[in-house]
């Protein structure tokens, strides 16, 4: 069975974004967090549903990304895991990474 694993930095960034939203609307913050977590969990069934990560240099076809609520979530597909590797707000300048 494939499992979803979050990198500490990716999960911390999701928490940070939700804490920022919570200042104005705790209900919206909860909705954003739960939706992102649900989408991540759903990747177990269809890991290649989202496109390849266009910001990943030399992507070997195993790094993909999705956007929801102005958050861009990059993940790596392996045989046994879906690794959530990055969460960034879409208004931020995208990082080109290796």
pLDDT, tens digit (0-9, with 9 covering 90-100), for 25-66:
999 999 999 999 999 999 999 999 999 998 888 888 899 999
Whole-structure pTM value = 0.88
Mean pLDDT, the chain, integer: 91
Query: What domain count does the chain have?
Result: 1
Domain span at residue 57? 3-89
Question: What pLDDT, on a 0 to 100 scale, did the predictor assign at position 98?
Answer: 46
The more confident residue out of 33 and 98 is 33
* Residue 96 maps to a domain: no
23 part of a folded domain: yes
Q: Evaluate if residue 91 carries a pLDDT over 70.
A: yes
3-state SS, the chain, equals: CCEEEECHHHHHHHHHHHHHHHCCCHHHHHHHHHHHHHHHHHCCCCCCCCCECCCECCCCCCEEEEEECCEEEEEEECCCEEEEEEEEECCCCCCCEC
More confident call, 82 vs 93: 82
């Amino acid at each position: 069975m494939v499992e979803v694993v979050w990198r500490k930095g990716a999960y911390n960034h999701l928490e940070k974004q939700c804490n920022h939203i919570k200042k104005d609307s705790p209900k919206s913050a909860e909705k954003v967090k739960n939706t992102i977590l649900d989408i991540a969990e759903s990747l177990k069934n269809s890991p290649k549903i989202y496109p390849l990560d266009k910001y990943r240099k030399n992507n070997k076809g195993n790094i993909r990304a999705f956007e929801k609520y102005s958050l861009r979530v990059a993940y790596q597909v392996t045989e046994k895991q879906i690794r959530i590797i990055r969460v960034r707000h879409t208004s931020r300048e995208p990082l080109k990474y290796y």
